[in-house]
Amino acid sequence: MKQAKILLLLFIGLGLILGLGKSQLLVLSAFGPEDSELSKVIYVVENNLTEKLITSVDTDGKKLAALSFDDGPDPLYTPGVLEILKRYQIKATFFVVGESVEAQPGLVKKEIEEGHELGNHTYSHPDLRSESDFKTEAEIHKTGQLLQKLSGTKGHFFRPPRRLYRKETIAIAERYGYKTVLWTICVENSKTKTPEEMAKRVIGAARPGMIILAHDGRLDRSLTLDALPMIIEGLQEQGYEFVTLEKLVGAGADN
C-alpha cells in the first residue's frame, strides 16, 4: 500500500513537472515540509533534473558520506560538535551564518584549525524567496568576505537557509563562485523525537555519496549532539568514510 501511494505521488509529481516551468518548480519545492511525501517527490526532481543543485554525489559505489552543519557557529553547540568530530577523527563542512561568524570568530578559527571546511549560509539567515537579487547578492557576498578574511578562502559551496530560494538565487551564488548544495537527508526531523530515532532514520537511508545535514545553531541542538555519535558509528559499521563536501564532490568528478 505504501509503495503504491509513493508511485501515485511520483506520477502526480511528474504531472506537476510537465505543467510547471523550472522557476515555478524551484519555488514549489520550498513549501512542502522536509519529511512530506510531496517534498520527497520534488526532491527527486531537483536531484535528477536540476544540474546546478547538489543533493548527493555519484561516487561509483564508494561508501563516502559528507557531514554538514548549518546555522553556526554557536557557543552552546558548536564546541560539542567539534569535540565529537575530533573524537572520531572526522572532517565536516560547516555552513556558517555571517552574523554568527562576526560574533564568534574564535569558533570559526577553531573549525579551520581542526581541518574542517566552511560553506556560505548567508549573512542573516533570511528567506531568500522574498529577497531581491540585490539583497541576495549582499547576503552571499558579505559572508564570503568574512570567510576570506578568516580562512584565506571564501569557500566553494553555498546553501540557502531552510532550502528556501528562487532560481535566481542559484545563479547569483554561481556568479560569486559557489556551487549550491542541499542535502540527501536531514538529522533533525519532525517524526523523530529521540536521538535513537534520529540516528536510526539517517543510518537506514545510507547510500554512497550521501550528504547529511545537521545543525549546530539557532535552536536547541542537544538532541543532535546526542544522535551524532550513533550516526557516525552506525555508518562506519557499514563501511562508510566521512569526507568534506569538497572531497565528496571531487570523488564524483573522478568517475
The answer to whether residues 174 and 248 belong to one domain is yes
Tell me how far apart the alpha carbons of residues 142 and 148 are, in angstroms, rounded to a whole number.
10
Amino acid, res. 108: V
- The answer on 19 and 120 residing in a single domain is no
- Residues 74 and 103 reside in one and the same domain: yes
Report the distance separating Cα 134 and Cα 152, nearest Å.
25
**What pLDDT score does 51 carry?**
61
What pLDDT does 49 receive?
Answer: 42
Contact 55, 247 (CB under 8 A): no
The 8-class DSSP code of residue 191 comes to T
Which domain, by its residues, includes 60? 54-253
Same domain, yes or no: 128 and 18: no
H or E segment and range at residue 224: helix 222-237
25 and 38 inside one domain:
yes
**Shared domain check, 205 and 85:** yes
Cβ-Cβ contacts under 8 Å for 212 (sequence gap 6 or more): 65, 66, 67, 68, 183, 184, 185, 186, 187, 202, 231
d(CA 186, CA 184): 7
Residue 68 contacts residue 214 (beta carbons within 8 Å): yes
Residue-wise pLDDT for 42-74, tens only, equals 455 454 445 679 999 999 999 999 999 999 999
77 and 46 share one domain: no
Same domain, residue pair 114 and 174: yes
The pLDDT assigned to 135 comes to 98
187-203 confidence digits (pLDDT tens): 999 999 999 999 999 99
* List of the chain residues with pLDDT < 70: 1-51, 255
The predicted pLDDT at position 52 comes to 79
User: How many domains does the chain divide into?
Assistant: 2
Catalytic residue among 70, 71, 74, 216: 70
3-state secondary structure of 136: helix
β-bridge pairing 241-243 and 210-215: unpaired
**182, 238: one domain:** yes
Is residue 121 annotated as part of the catalytic site, yes or no?
no
Q: What is the pLDDT of residue 3?
A: 47
78: cell is: 558548536
Position 254 scores a pLDDT of 74
Q: Measured between alpha carbons, how far is 129 from 28 in angstroms, rounded to an integer?
A: 11
CATH number (domain holding residue 179): 3.20.20.370
Annotation marks residue 220 as catalytic: no
State whether 23 and 83 are in the same domain: no
Which of 74, 116, 215, 216 is flagged as catalytic? 215
- Smallest CA-to-CA distance from 69 within 184, 178, 180, 186 is with 186
142/197 same-domain check:
yes
Both 36 and 113 in one domain: the answer is: no
Element (H, E) at 40: helix 37-49
